[in-house]
Amino acid sequence: MYESLQIKTANLPRSALCGSEENLRIKIERNHTFSFIHDLGNSKSDIEMFAKIATENIMDSRLSPHKCVYKKLEVLEQSVTSSLSRYYATNLIEQNRFPELSVLNISHSNIYRIPENFKTWWMYFPNLKYLDMSYNRIQDIVFPRTDARMMGNSISNLTLDLTFNNISELSVRDFERIIQNKYLFVKLANNPFNCTCSDKMKEVLRYIQERDWNSSKYQKYSYIRDLECYYPKDVRGRRLRDLHLEDISCGFDFMPVIIALSVLSFVLLIFILIILINYRKIRISCLSRLNVDSNSVIKLKENC
């Protein structure tokens, strides 16, 4: 392992890194997963040495003089791996060119977020049609707005498969952002959506009910109505289109009541404190008003 990592890419022939650039159409690399069992020592020096070599290897690959241009490659699959580098996307676009790539599959790879480079896919994959990131651990669906005029050319229409990930947050803003992106279609089914009562969830339910899902703008995303709740448990499996505020305990808004009770409690507390602080003065004043014998009042003052 040490020896392999220390090989400099500049010392390797281009063919060893790129393979058949001219004719390759489909490239599948699956289950490239590694783990350390007995190879790496437990000492701190061994771990530090490996970290240093690995870091140098990453820098070496990014500075490699070899840039692979896959002129005819249409399908690239690098899936089913638990050891995909966090620099995977950066290395992929820095070291390679994919002018005809239409399908990129990096599913089942323990990816936690959509790489920033993939959010502007048209800059690196001008003909990409399908990006499969299903069966990962992605939690967000934030994408930038796209404008073909900024690029000076057309943008390919992309289908992004985010099914079977860990997306639990739903917001109207996220929906509108991807729906308004005419170059992007996002598949979101089979994610553990949280339908617990909240202001955000209330907006989502109103959004589902009030939109015309047969209109040209919303039709392709009509499946959103059929997304299913995973949390809370008592509505698990229920579709958004069938969900009502009462189903998620949103039938009565307790917030105004809570605020009113809090204000009232605060006022009462202040009132009680004032009474406690001035209790003796108030008592004496009351006795005076009730024409209690002045000597008794004087005695009461002395005792106080």
Range of the domain at 80: 2-191
Residues 127 and 37 in one domain: yes
Q: Whole-model pTM?
A: 0.74
Q: Could you say which of 191, 221, 236 is where a domain stops?
A: 191
pLDDT for the residue numbered 247: 82
Q: Give tens-digit pLDDT for 102-133.
A: 999 999 998 999 998 898 899 999 999 999 99
CB 61 within 8 A of CB 9: yes
Give yes or no: residues 30 and 147 share one domain: yes
Q: Does residue 187 sit in the same domain as residue 289? A: no
The pLDDT tens digits for 234-250 are 999 999 999 888 888 77
Report the distance separating Cα 46 and Cα 52, nearest Å: 10
Q: What is the pLDDT of residue 283?
A: 67
pLDDT score for 49: 73
The count of structural domains within the chain is 2
Is residue 253 one of the residues assigned to a domain? no
Task: Give the chain's length.
Answer: 304
Bigger pLDDT: 58 or 153?
58
- Last residue within a domain, chosen from 138, 158, 191: 191
